[in-house]
Structure 1
Amino acid sequence: MSEVATPAVQPEDRTMPAVVYGLYLIGIANILTIFIGLIIAYANRATAGPMMASHYTFLIRTFWLSIWWFVIGGALVLVGIPLSLVLVGIPVVVLGAFIMGAVGLWFVLRCVVGVVYLAKGEVYPRPLSWLI
């Protein structure tokens, strides 16, 4: 009986996605590292294997969705501040601040969930989803 040798699947390097997740989480305190993480994710996504490519796609999408919603919340705050002089803008300012806070929480949760999948050595299951 001869056994057919199956090629050993080599594990993908998880270092760079972990670095990007770390840069994103550090970026909560200083925004610059988030942009550095985005550049690293774009640079490594094309050469990554399928598992790490899902994490890079997830990280890139997390960045763009959070920027989009943060800009919307910031615009509401900026529009609402002058309008709050006549009390009409107070709900707009509150809504904008709520959106910006929710986006910050959403950003952290997505990063933590991504780190958990990366630590398990698993593909991120829904990298194109806007939910967690």
Structure 2
Amino acid sequence: MVEVNTPDAMNPGATAAKIIYILYLVGIFVALTGLIGVILAYVNQSGAPRWLQSHYRFQIRTFWIGLLYLLIGALLTGIGVGWLIILGWLIWLVVRCAQGLRYLDRWEAHPNPATWFFT
């Protein structure tokens, strides 16, 4: 059976996925929104079509991997290199969210939701 991807008006899951990407980007300034985003991704993942499940998996991994990068960066700020790691996390997060939004806007599954990098 072929799965057809439909526009936002007919697919509320796509809207939720878009909101999660935006919450992650807002999380750069307000950390709590990132936590809200990952909770929403976990909640919406199971009932979503396969192509959207790939986005939710990518979003969940983005949260946890990003948290790891931030913790490492925070631990290493005392020797200066931590600030570079945090800057790298910031760029990494923006690129991942932008790429995820691009695939979502084209109604495509994320091609590699298990990656640690960008795509």
TM-score of the two chains, using structure 2 as the length reference: 0.88
Unaligned runs of 5+ in 2: none
Question: How is 1:92-107 mapped onto 2 (pairs within 5 angstroms)?
Answer: 92-93=79-80, 95-107=81-93
What is the aligned length? 113
Distance, in Å, in 2 between the alignment partners of 1:96 and 1:62 is: 19
Q: CA, structure 1 residues 35+115, in 2 after alignment: closer, same or farther (shift >3 Å)?
A: same
Q: CA, structure 1 residues 8+37, in 2 after alignment: closer, same or farther (shift >3 Å)?
A: closer
Q: CA, structure 1 residues 99+8, in 2 after alignment: closer, same or farther (shift >3 Å)?
A: closer
Instruction: Give SS of 2:76's match.
Output: helix
Unaligned runs of 5+ in 1: 1-5, 81-91
- For the Cα contact (< 8 Å) 2:73–2:85, is it kept in 1? yes
* Deviations 1:14-47 (CA, angstroms, capped at 9, x unpaired): 1110111111111111111111111100001011
TM-score of the two chains, using structure 1 as the length reference: 0.80
Give the drift of 1:7.
8.2
* Deviations 1:50-82 (CA, angstroms, capped at 9, x unpaired): 0100000000000100100110010011xx3xx
Q: Is structure 2 residue 106 aligned with structure 1 residue 116?
A: no
